[in-house]
Structure 1
Amino acid sequence: MVKVLPILLLSIACTFAAPAPKQLVKLPLKAPHKRVALHEAHSKDLARWAHLSADSTFSIPAINADVSYLITVGLGTPAQDVDLIFDTGSSDLWVQSANYDPSQSSTSSDLGETFSIEYGSGSTSGEEYTDQVTIGGFTFTQEFGVASEASGFDGTQGLVGFGPDDLSAITSNGENIPTPTDNLYSSGQISSDVIGVYFQPITDGGSQETNGEVTFGGVDSTNSITYGTTKVSSATHGIVDTGTTLILLSSNDVTALYKNIQGAALDNNTGLYTIPSSQVSKLKNITFTIGGTAFTLTPSQYLVPANQVANMGGNSGTTYSWIGSLGDNESGLAFILGQKFLENYYSVYDTTNNRVGLATAA
C-alpha cells in the first residue's frame, strides 16, 4: 500500500485536465521516442523556471509581546508603520488615531461613517477610512477604522483581524469587510486565501521578542537538502513539477553541494555538472527533507546513466549529474524537483486542497 504524505508547502506546477469521472482512471505515461540532448533539457528547464519563479506566498515576522503577537503594517502613502495585534478571532483592522494620521496620506479616503466594536477584553470606536495598506512589501486597498476611543487596549497601536469576514463588525450597516488576506488574494498577490502562523515562547526573559512568523498565501516550512550527513541547504520553498526534467537548486545551494565532491565542475556545453571518474564510487546519497519527511536519492538515481550519455549529446565516458543550477534567484524558491526526482517516488497532485503528496513507489 502506498502511503501518501501531504506536503502543503510546495507549489503545484502542473497542467490538469477537466474533472475526472467518478471511477478511477489510470493512463500509462510514455517516454518520448526522440532522445533530448542534455543541453536542451537544461535550457528547457531554465526557460520553464522563468515562468514558475513568481512567488505566490510571502512571510513576515511576528513579534511576541508576551500576552499577544504583533505584526508591522504600513498604513497610507507614504506608509505610516504601526505594530498591530495579530488576531484570528476577529476580522477587522483598526488603529489608534494617535498612530495614524489620514491627512498625511495621499491615498486616504474618509467614508463618512462611524464604527464601534465590542471585544471580550475591551471596545473601540471611531471613523471609517479606506487607504493603502502594506504588509511584507505587498500593497492593497483596505477599509479600516481609526479609533478615537479604545478601552482595554492600553499600550497597543491597534489590531488586525484575520478571521472569517462574516465576523466583521466595523461597519454600522453590517456588511462584511474583506480582511487583508482576502484583499491580497482578490488582487492576485497570493495564490490562496490562507495564512500560516508559527509562534514561539519568549526565551530571553524580556517582554518582547521577534520570534514568530506569519505566512500569507499558504504555509511555510523549513525544508533541507543534505549530501550524506552534510547540510547544503535550509530551503524554505520549492516546486514539484512534472514538466521539468532535472533537479534544480538555487546557485548558492548547488555550489554548496558540489563543494563536497572533489573535482566536480560545471560543463558549459550541457549546463550540467560533471563528476570525475575517481569520485563516482565515493559519492553519497542526497536527501531532500520536506515537511519532516526524508526523500533520498542514491548516486545511481541522480547520475545520468552511462549508456545514455552519448545518445544525449554528452561526452562518452564522462559522468554527469541530473542536479543542476537555477541560477540567481530572488523569488525565495530554492529548488525544483523535476522528472529525475519524481521517477523515484509516487506523487499526488490535489488541486482541490492545494497540496502535493509524495510517497515511496510500490
Structure 2
Amino acid sequence: MVSSGSLASLALPALAFLSLSANALPHHRTASSTAALKLAVRINSYGIKNIAAADQARVQALQAGDSSSISATNAMTTYTANIGVGSPATYYTLLIDTGSSNTWIGANKSYEKTSTSEDTGNQFTLTLSSDLVIENQSIGVASESNLSVTDVDGLLGLGPVDLTQGTVSDEDEVATVTQNLYTQGTISSEVLGVFFAPASSDDTSGELTFGGYDASKITGDVSYVPITSASPARTYWGIDQSISYGSTIILEETAGIVDTGTTLILIASDAFDRYQSATGGTLDEETGLLKISSDQYEQLSSLYFTIGGVTYELTPNAQIWPRSLNSAIGGTTDDIYLIVSSTGSSSGSGLDFMNGYCFLERFYSVYDTTNSRVGFATTEYTFATTN
C-alpha cells in the first residue's frame, strides 16, 4: 500500500503553476461528471525489514499531528498513478496517499520546467494526465528526498485540505487535487472513490474516481459515517468504529483513521493484546507480525468492524498476509502471518486505529469532503480466499 513522503527531509524551494492531467474520461465534461484514474500496484521488496514497525512509526507521527515527517521508505504494497506536469506534460510516477494532502515530485526524477510552469518561489502547479486536466494545481518540487521506493517520483496527496496548513510559506492552505477539480467545475462534488484489488488476486489493479464512486466496483450500497469529532483523527479521514473478534469486543468505539498510506490494520495496544490472546499468535521478530499455525488458522474467527451502525466482516482469510508474498516481507514461505498489528500506544489517544491497505482491499472506500463523511461498501473481493 501507499505511504507518504518524508517532507522533513525534503527541500521545497519553489512551487509553480503548471497544469494537472490524468488518463481518464474525455477532456470536456459537465459539472455532473466523474473522472476515473487507473492505478498500478507495485510490491516493494527493497529495504523492508519489519512492516509492522514501519506502520507504527507512521501512526505515531500522525498521533502527534505531524503528517509532514512520515517516511515512505518502507511502503510494502504501493499504488501509483502516472501524473503529467506542465504542457507538454512530463510524466511522473506518484504514490497515492489519503493520509497527506500536498502533492510533490522530484524524488527520483527531476522536475522539468515547461511552457506552463511559473516559478513563484512560493508555490507551483501540476497535471494528472492528458484527459483529466487541472489548471493552477499547486505542487512541490523536492530538491532532495529519502523516498526509496523504486521508480517512484513523489506523492499525490488526497487527504483533507487542512493538512496543508503551514506547509508552504506565505500560504494559509494549498488547494488539493480533489478540491481544484471541484472548484474548476470538472466534478460536481468534492468526493473521491478508492478501489483496490488484493495483491494476491488475479486483478491487481486499482482506481480513483473523482466526483463520486464507481458503482461497478461494489456489490452493495455505500454506507456513510460522519468525520469523527475526536482529535487528532478528525484532521485526517477520521471515523469512529468498534472492533469485535467473533462475538468478543476487543476495541470499544473510538476514533481512528482510514489511510491508503498504511499497509496493515493497526489497533491500540490494549486491543491488540486481546486480539493476540484470542488468536494465539506469536510475535515474529523478522516481520514484526503475529504468526499462527495452520490449526490456529482453521480456528480463526472473523473480525467485525462496526462503523456508523453498519458492520463490516473481515474474514479469516482477509486477516492473513498473502502467503505468496511471504518472502517479500522476510517471512518463511509456508508460515501464516496476521495483518493486524499494534499502534504502539494504548486506547484513548484520539487516534486508536488505522484501517490501512489490508482493510481497503476488501472494502471500497469513499472520501466525501462536500458532506464531511467517509463511506464503505463491499466488493467482489470482500470474501475472497486468495490469501
Q: TM-score range by the shorter chain?
A: 0.3 to 0.5
Task: Give the TM-score of the pair, scaled to structure 2.
Answer: 0.44
- Larger CA Rg, structure 1 vs 2: 1
Task: Give the TM-score of the pair, scaled to structure 1.
Answer: 0.47
Identify the structure with the greater strand proportion: 1
